[in-house]
Structure 1
């Protein structure tokens, strides 16, 4: 059997099925939390992390693991209540020489 050379255009049709390469028509819009401020007494993950001395990535890992401070999820938005952050920070307090 002989193999027929289809030329360079054969793979081009496969590559452009659906959305063409480089197309931006189906990209997600930025999350609304990027421009919407958090309600009074609540913090977005970046501000919450700074408040307790962590990085936003650490908070994200803790959320996935089910640990860390309590948080609220409304839609795709994550918020931390200021009182919960303070309680979490205080619960992590270690008193050297204290009884267990």
Structure 2
């Protein structure tokens, strides 16, 4: 699990990436205002590249495949955050066995 301090810029960039994609698609589906597209397009591209760069700069150890998830356009940052927030590849105490024998993840 990465410290919150190292994930904060990634959270901001992934939020900007996802929000700008939603706004771009909403604009496309409704009025298709060119000035809005001209503003949101570069914002989305910059956020996408920032997510990729910030993900590749995360300190190891990381769960398998985390860095490659950043390459998914639009939601890659959210996928990375989902994978890095709740798991720690070096600590096995995050899961406990339930009564039926299935492994259940617990949040701390």
Question: Normalising by structure 2, what TM-score?
Answer: 0.27
More helix per residue: 2
Q: Taking CA–CA contacts closer than 8 Å with sequence separation of 6 or more, which of the two structures ends up with the larger relative contact order?
A: 2
Larger radius of gyration: 1
Question: Normalising by structure 1, what TM-score?
Answer: 0.28
